[in-house]
Every structure is written in C-alpha cells, then in structure tokens.
C-alpha cells in the first residue's frame, strides 16, 4: 500500500524541469522510489498525467498502484487517444472501478458513459477489452446493450423464419441490429466479436439477457455488486451515507465524549489520492485551523477521517463519483458544515477547538453543523425518491427510443 502522506517530491519543480530539460527530468523522476513516483503522478495536473507517465522508464509498474478513482479521472482528462494506452496496464480492479464510478447515474448504469468507456477499452486493444468484458458484471453489459441493440434468436422449428432486416450475426443463431444511430456501435460490434471468439459462454449469456431478462432484476443485481465494491473503496451505500445528515436533538448537539479517541484510526487504501488539505493556523475553515494544532500522528488520522467523510457526503448527495470535480466540492461542503459544528461545540462548552476534534468524531461535527444549517445541508442533495425518479425517467426514455427505432425498422 502506498502511503499518500509520506514525503512527496516537489511536483512543480519536476514539471518545470520536464518542460526545460526532459532528459534531466526523466533521470530525476526515475531515481525516486515507487511510492514517490506514484505521488508525483497523482499530484500532477490531470491533463499532464499522460505525459508524466511517459517520463517513467516503467510506467507499467506504476499505473497499477494509482488509486482507482485517480486512474478514472486521468483517463477521462487526457481523452480517448492519449489515455487508452494507460488502460493497457491497468488492473482488472481498476477497469471495473472506472465503470463503477463513472458509468452510473444514481441507481442505474448510464448508457452514454458506458459507451465511452467501452470505446476506451476497445482503443486499448483486444486483451484489455476482454479483461474489461469479463471483469465488469454481465448485468451491466446487458443493461447497456438493451439501450443500443435488439437481439433475436433463430428458432429451431421455423424453416421459413427470416432474420430482422438490417441485422447481423456472428454464429448464425443470434441476430442483432442497432436500435438507433450511436457513436459506440462499432465498439459494440468489436465487443461481441471478441467475446464470440474468446468467451462464447459470456457472449451467449449477454445476448440471452438482452432478449429475456427483466430490467428491474438486472438493475437490482448490478447495483448490489457495485455497492459492495464501492464500500470496499470507501463509498458506503446511500442509506448508510445519509446517516451523516441524521437529526440531533437541540439539547444534545453540544455533547462531547469524555475520553479522547476520535482520532485513533489508522491509514487505509483510498480510491483518491490524498489532497493537500489546508491544515494551517490561517485556514479559512475552523476545522482546518483546529487540525493545524494537532500532533503529527493526530493530524494524519484527521486527514484520513476527513476524506472518508467527504466520500460519504458525495454518496449521500448523489454526486457523480467519476467526476474529478466531485471531491473538491465534497471537501468544501464537509469543511463548511463540520466547522459550524466545531465552533458551536467549542463555544458552548468553552473548549479548545483542537480538543473538540480529538474527542468528537468528524462525522458528529458534520451532523451538528448540518442540523444547525439545514439549508446548506440540503444544497445539491438528491433524495432517494429523486434518484428513483431519475432512474425511472431514463428507463422510460430508453423504452420509448427502442419502440420508435423498431417501428422505423419495420
């Protein structure tokens, strides 16, 4: 596990050196440890990361060590042409995480985003495409393909049967056709052709699913598998994440635990690289000013706990987890409300803010702040009902589009 709080190389200095003297930058970068190389890549601006990776003698050894969300952000930022080679060296877990984080909207897979990632996998080569196809849940592929193609299987007892007009087949049994014009149709054909040649069982499973499986069942299982993986990455299920907004009675909001222990936590793997949080005495947020007063080990635990809180907030508010702007936005809201809670407790109990942070879990401080400022707490937050409504709207739009396309074909 790479320690994101270990000493980091001077990213600005190395980037400036790379602009002026590429060979000198390569020599200096490749003399760093693996952990420092990962830190340099993750601290570099997203648009520069592909060029940074190219400075490494062995980028294939560093790419698998990049946190899952950071790899997702990097590929999106540098684009299809410049970013696809990065996926060649990604682990299966990173390939799946990219889809889990960026190819969903609310409670359902997003066909447009899934199509973009499929094109990335295709551009990265057949081996990467097959690894992604086998690693990503079959339910997700079925849900995605249902929005893009129709499938019919040749009956065994009808000699006069004719395949649908405009359809294609790879095996003489399954016939498929486009429901509407889409940029990702060529990638879909490549996916099906690769599976037909290398993994016929999965090819059969997916096309049968497009024909017969119920959308509600597919979404339930796909969501279940995805939620489990996201929890492992530090993104809890929506209902668990919503606990950070739980109600606290007014007479209990200033309560503080007797014993210090809120910061007795260790480091853990994060899906994002640890941002440079402004824990200084002149920081704009009270929570970061208090963190500046902590001991080094305490501040280290505070950083991990704070990013964990920001992850929960992103899930609770329905923020797009694959969007590179989500974490900064979640950090700002978490810092604002946690600071309100901290100031309320410190003033009400006449305690030093740093002592409050030592004794009170960050999630508790956030909850107090959210109870004090309900308007801010509810800003940009999607309710569960709104997420369900959006999912239903997308489903109905897809069904209507499919019916229109089938009508035109007939």
Q: Which pair of structure tokens corresponds to residue 129?
A: 């495409």
Share of the chain above pLDDT 70, in %: 89
Number of neighbouring beta carbons within 10 Å of residue 79: 12
Could you read off the pLDDT of 126-179 as tens digits, one per residue? 999 999 999 999 999 999 999 999 999 998 877 788 888 889 999 999 999 999
Q: Tell me how long the chain is.
A: 410
Work out the mean pLDDT of the chain and round it to a whole number: 87
Report angle CA 277, 281, 285 to the nearest 5 degrees.
Answer: 55
Residue 220's pLDDT band (cuts 50, 70, 90): very high
d(CA 211, CA 151): 6
Q: What is the mean pLDDT of residues 385-406?
A: 54
pLDDT of residue 338: 96
- Alpha-carbon distance of 49 to 40, in angstroms, equals 9
Most confident of 107-121, 154-168, 393-407: 107-121
If DSSP states are collapsed to H, E and C, what string results for the chain?
Answer: CCCCCCCCCCHHHHHHHHHHCHHHHHHHHHCCCHHHHHHHHHHCCHHHHHHHHHCCCCHHHHHHHCCHHHHHHHHHHHHHHHHHHHHHCCCHHHHHHHHHHHCEECCEECHHHHHHHHHHHHHCCHHHHHHHHHHCCHHHHHHHHHCCEEEEECCCCCCCCCCCCCCEECCCCEEEEECCCCCCHHHHHHHHHHHHHHCHHHHHHHHHHHHHCCHHHHHHHHHHHHHHHHHHCCCCCHHHHHHHHCCCCHHHCCCCCCCCCCCCCCCCCCCCCCCCCCCCCCCCCHHHHHHHCCCHHHHHHHHHHHHHHHHHHHHHCCCCCCCCCHHHHHHHHHHHHHHHHHHHHHHHHCCCHHHHHHHCCHHHHHHHHHHHCHHHHCCCCCCHHHHHHHHHHHHHHHHHHHHHHHHHHC
- Pair of tokens at residue 117: 């990632």
More confident residue, 39 or 394: 39
Dihedral (CA of 181, 187, 189, 191) sign: negative
Sheet holding 149-153, edge to edge: 149-153, 174-178, 168-169
pTM of the model: 0.82
């Amino acid at each position: 596990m790479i320690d994101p709080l270990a000493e980091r190389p001077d990213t600005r200095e190395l980037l400036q050196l790379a602009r002026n003297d590429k060979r000198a930058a390569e020599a200096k970068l490749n003399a760093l440890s693996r952990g420092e190389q990962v830190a340099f890549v993750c601290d570099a601006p997203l648009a520069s990361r592909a060029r940074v990776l190219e400075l490494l003698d062995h980028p294939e050894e560093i790419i698998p060590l990049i946190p899952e969300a950071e790899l997702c952000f990097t590929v999106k930022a540098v684009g299809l042409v410049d970013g696809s080679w990065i996926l060649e060296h990604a682990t299966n877990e990173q390939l799946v995480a990219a889809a889990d984080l960026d190819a969903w909207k609310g409670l359902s897979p997003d066909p447009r985003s899934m199509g973009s990632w499929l094109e990335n996998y295709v551009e990265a080569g057949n081996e990467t495409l097959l690894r992604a196809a086998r690693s990503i849940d079959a339910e997700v592929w079925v849900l995605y393909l249902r929005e893009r193609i129709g499938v019919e299987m040749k009956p065994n007892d009808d000699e006069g049967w004719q395949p649908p007009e405009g359809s294609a087949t790879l095996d003489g049994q399954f016939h498929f056709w486009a429901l509407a014009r889409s940029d990702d149709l060529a990638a879909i054909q490549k996916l099906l052709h690769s599976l037909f040649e290398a993994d016929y069982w999965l090819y059969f499973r997916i096309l049968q699913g497009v024909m017969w499986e119920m959308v509600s069942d597919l979404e339930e299982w796909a969501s279940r598998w995805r939620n489990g993986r996201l929890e492992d990455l530090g993104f809890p299920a929506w209902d668990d994440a919503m606990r950070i907004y739980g109600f606290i009675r007014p007479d209990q909001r200033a309560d503080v635990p007797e014993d210090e222990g809120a910061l007795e936590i260790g480091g853990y793997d994060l899906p994002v690289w640890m941002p440079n949080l402004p824990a200084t005495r002149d920081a704009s947020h009270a929570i970061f000013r208090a963190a500046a007063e902590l001991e080094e080990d305490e501040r280290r635990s505070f950083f991990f706990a704070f990013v964990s809180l920001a992850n929960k907030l992103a899930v609770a508010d329905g923020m797009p987890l694959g969007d590179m702007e989500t974490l900064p936005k979640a950090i700002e809201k978490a810092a604002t409300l946690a600071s309100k809670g901290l100031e309320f407790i410190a003033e009400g109990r006449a305690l030093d803010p740093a002592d409050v942070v030592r004794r009170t879990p960050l999630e508790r401080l956030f909850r107090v702040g959210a109870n004090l400022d309900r308007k801010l707490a509810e800003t940009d937050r999607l309710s569960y009902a709104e997420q369900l409504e959006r999912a239903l709207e997308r489903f109905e739009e897809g069904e209507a589009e499919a019916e229109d396309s089938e009508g035109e074909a007939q």
